[in-house]
Amino acid sequence: MTTSLIRRSLLATASAVVLMGALLSTAQAQNKVLLRVSTPAVPDDWHAKMWTVFKDNLEKSAPGEFDVQINLNASLFKQGTEPTAMARGNLELSSISAFDIAKLVPEFSIFTAGYIVRDPDHQQKVFKGPIGAEMFKTVSEKMDVTPLSTVYLGTRQVNLREARTVKTPADLKGIKLRMPGSKEWLFLGEALGATATPLAFGEVYLGLKTGTIDGQDNPLPSIRAAKFYEVTKQIVLTSHLVDGIFIAISNKAWNAMNPAQKQKVKAAAEAASSYNNENRIKEEAQLVDFFKQQGLQVTTPDVDAFRKSVQTTYQNSDYAKVWPKGLVERINATK
C-alpha cells in the first residue's frame, strides 16, 4: 500500500469512528426523557432558580435518565399559554397559576380571589390536604396536566409609579393598574378599585418607565428580581393575594413514565418548591427595608377596608356562583 493510500484509509476509519460516536450520543440523548420547561420568571427570581434545583435533584436520583431543558423569561412560550402547549404535547413542564387553571376549571377561581388564602403555611396545608387532592384530580381530567407541587409565589402588593395616599380601594380610582392578561386577573385589579390594564410580565418594566401604566401588583421578591423598584416610587402593602403557582407536568409525559420515574420527578418538584418557598419567605420578610433604602415609600393602607371590599366584590360575582358549596368554609377551617 502506498503512504497516501494508508493515510486515506486511516482518515476514513477516523471519520467513521467520529460519526459512530456522534450517532451514539444522539441515540443516548434520544433515550433520555425530554422535559422542556417554560416559565415567564426572570433568572434572579426564586421560582426561576428552583428549576435548577429540580434538574440537579433529578440528575442525582436518576443519572442520565432525563433531559431537563429550562427556558426562562417566557422565551419558549408566552405567559399564560403554557397549559395549552402542554396539552398539545409541545411542552412538558411549567409552573401554572390559579388564574391559568380557572380558565378551564372554573371552581379554581376561588384561589384567584383576594383575601381567601391566609398565608404560605395555610396555602401548603390547603393544597397538600383533601381540597388540593380533589382540585388537582379535576385539573388533571380537564386540562390534561398533573400538578406535582405548590409553589408560594408570594403575597401580592400594589406598586405605584408615583406616590399617593392610598388607604382604601377608593384611593386607587382611575389608577391604570397593570395585571396579567386574562379576565380573572383583570377582575382582581378592578376589585382593588383600580382600572385594570392587561400586559405581559416581560413588558411591565418598560410600561412603568414610560408611564403607559400607573402601577402593577406583584409579590415583593418579584418586584426586586424584575427591578420594578427602579421605575416606581411606592409600594402599598395591600397583601391582597397569597399567590400560588403549581409545578405541573403534561399528562402525555407523565403517563409515559414508569412508577419509579414518576416518584423521582415528583420528589424533584417537591424539592424545587421547598427551595423556592423557604428562600422566598425569608426574603419577603427583609425586603421592606431594601425598598426603603432604594428610596421608595412603603405604606400600609386600611387592609380591612380592602379585604371587605374585595371579598364582597367576589361574593357578588359570577365567579362565586361556581364555587362548590361549603368550599370557602372548608378553606377557612384548614389549619
CA angle, corner 146, sides to 143 and 149, nearest 5? 130
Out of 180, 193, 207, 301, the residue judged to bind ligand KDO by CB under 6 A: 180
Out of 36, 37, 38, 40, the residue judged to bind ligand KDO by CB under 6 A: 40
CB 145 to ligand KDO: min, Å: 15
Determine the Cα–Cα distance for residues 328 and 325; give it in Å rounded to an integer. Answer: 8
Determine the Cα–Cα distance for residues 176 and 160; give it in Å rounded to an integer. Answer: 10
> Would you say 40 or 301 has its CB closer to ligand KDO?
40
> Would you say 61 or 81 has its CB closer to ligand KDO?
81
Out of 105, 116, 245, 272, the residue judged to bind ligand KDO by CB under 6 A: 245
> Would you say 213 or 268 has its CB closer to ligand KDO?
213
> Would you say 79 or 123 has its CB closer to ligand KDO?
79
CB 276 to ligand KDO: min, Å: 11
Determine the Cα–Cα distance for residues 2 and 8; give it in Å rounded to an integer. Answer: 10
The residue number with the shortest CB distance to ligand KDO is: 97
129 HSE (CA, 13 A, CB side):
12
CB 306 to ligand KDO: min, Å: 18
Q: Is 109 in the site for ligand KDO (CB under 6 A)?
A: no
CB 196 to ligand KDO: min, Å: 12
Q: Is 215 in the site for ligand KDO (CB under 6 A)?
A: no
Out of 35, 37, 45, 239, the residue judged to bind ligand KDO by CB under 6 A: 45
Q: Is 218 in the site for ligand KDO (CB under 6 A)?
A: yes
Q: Is 39 in the site for ligand KDO (CB under 6 A)?
A: yes
Q: Is 97 in the site for ligand KDO (CB under 6 A)?
A: yes
| Site residues, ligand KDO (CB under 6 A) | 39-41, 45, 47, 79, 97, 180, 201, 218, 222, 245
